[in-house]
């Protein structure tokens, strides 16, 4: 499970919501809270010193407040403020993750400074590409209240109804083996997207083959304590994955970091960009375990 979690925070509203969700992560016992201060050129002044000094002190105060909150939940907490003048934030995150030997990196999808443009820029993609552990990207979907006002739904059993995209590769199978053992799973939805077929007959044959493979997986999971559903779609993997997640009201998308077909490109090309950009729910990227 996720015994030790690294959470990079920029203290934004969404980062605060993500902080509130950490207690629901299965198996979490330790948390490393990280804030990165990127020092731009020209901030040093011979008379007044470093003008970012107050920012660092403020970060320490805020991290201390977060530490107390998490410790009240029974978690062991370490806080870190890292200052960089060169390089990029993703390398800091990856370096801390390796040094602390964390089992999960959790990042919120929007924020300011550190996390600004998280789903559109290079930081999350670099972290996903190079992390040696799993990565959880948090999203928050809007729900209409009875009064018609928009409110944020988050932290509500985010591991309960998981959608698992599969291309039937070994890495995808290993990811499913990991996900099925997470605490709090009530339902797993298996989804395969057929992307090949030049004629209607070829497409139908590929669909039938996919259904058979999903039925075999369901049979292997028949003794589990959660429901298993399967979905076969035809078209763009990213669009279909997001569509099934929304239609079925999934609480999370959990996908392997590697595969053999369309999933192979999932975290490196347009597919991952589109999945993460368009989905309204958290995405768990499961690193293939050797």
Kindly report, residue by residue over 101-159, the tens digit of the pLDDT: 999 999 876 544 444 444 445 677 778 778 899 999 887 665 444 445 444 555 768 89
Asked whether the predicted pLDDT for residue 290 surpasses 70, the reply is no
Greatest mean pLDDT range, 11-25, 98-112, 127-141, 210-224: 210-224
Cα pseudo-dihedral 169, 174, 177, 179, rounded to 10: -100
* 202: pLDDT strictly greater than 50: yes
* pLDDT for 157: 84
Ramachandran angles phi, psi of 26, nearest 5°: -60, 125
pLDDT above 70: residue 6: yes
Q: Could you count the other beta carbons within 10 Å of the beta carbon of residue 286?
A: 23
Across the range 78-82, mean pLDDT stands at 95
User: Mean pLDDT, the chain, as a whole number?
Assistant: 83
pLDDT at residue 46 is higher than 50: no
Nearest-angstrom CA–CA distance, 45 and 179: 52
Torsion angles phi and psi, residue 208, rounded to 5: -65, -40
- Position 70 pLDDT exceeds 80: yes
Structure-token pair, residue 22: 């950490």
Ordered by where they begin, the domains of the chain are: 4-142 (3.40.50.620), 157-286 (3.40.50.620)
Tell me the C-alpha distance between 229 and 128, whole Å. 27
């Amino acid at each position: 499970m996720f015994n030790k979690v690294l959470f990079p925070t920029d203290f934004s509203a969404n980062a605060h919501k993500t902080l509130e969700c950490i207690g629901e992560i299965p198996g979490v016992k330790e948390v490393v809270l990280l804030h990165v201060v990127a020092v731009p050129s020209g901030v040093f002044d011979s008379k007044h010193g470093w003008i970012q000094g107050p920012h660092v002190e403020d970060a320490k105060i805020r991290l201390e407040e977060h530490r107390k909150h998490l410790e009240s939940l029974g978690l062991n907490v370490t806080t870190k403020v890292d200052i960089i003048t060169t390089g990029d934030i993703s390398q800091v995150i990856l370096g801390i993750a390796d040094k602390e030997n964390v089992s999960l990196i959790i990042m919120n999808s929007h924020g300011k400074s550190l996390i600004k443009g998280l789903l559109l820029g290079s930081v999350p993609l670099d972290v996903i590409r190079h992390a040696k552990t799993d990565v959880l990207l948090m999203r928050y979907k809007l729900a209409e209240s009875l009064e018609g006002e928009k409110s944020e739904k988050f932290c509500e059993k985010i591991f309960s109804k998981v959608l698992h995209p599969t291309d039937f590769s070994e890495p995808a199978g290993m990811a499913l083996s990991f996900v099925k053992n997470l605490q709090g799973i009530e339902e797993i939805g298996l989804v395969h997207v057929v992307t090949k077929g030049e004629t209607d007959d070829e497409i139908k044959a590929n669909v039938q083959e996919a259904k058979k493979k999903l039925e075999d997986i369901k049979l292997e999971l028949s003794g589990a304590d959660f429901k298993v559903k399967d979905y076969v779609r035809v078209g763009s993997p990213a669009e279909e994955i997001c569509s099934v997640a929304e239609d079925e009201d999934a609480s999370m998308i959990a996908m392997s970091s590697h595969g053999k077909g369309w999933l192979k490109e999932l975290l490196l090309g347009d597919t991952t960009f589109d999945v993460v950009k368009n989905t309204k729910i958290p995405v768990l990227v499961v690193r293939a375990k050797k």
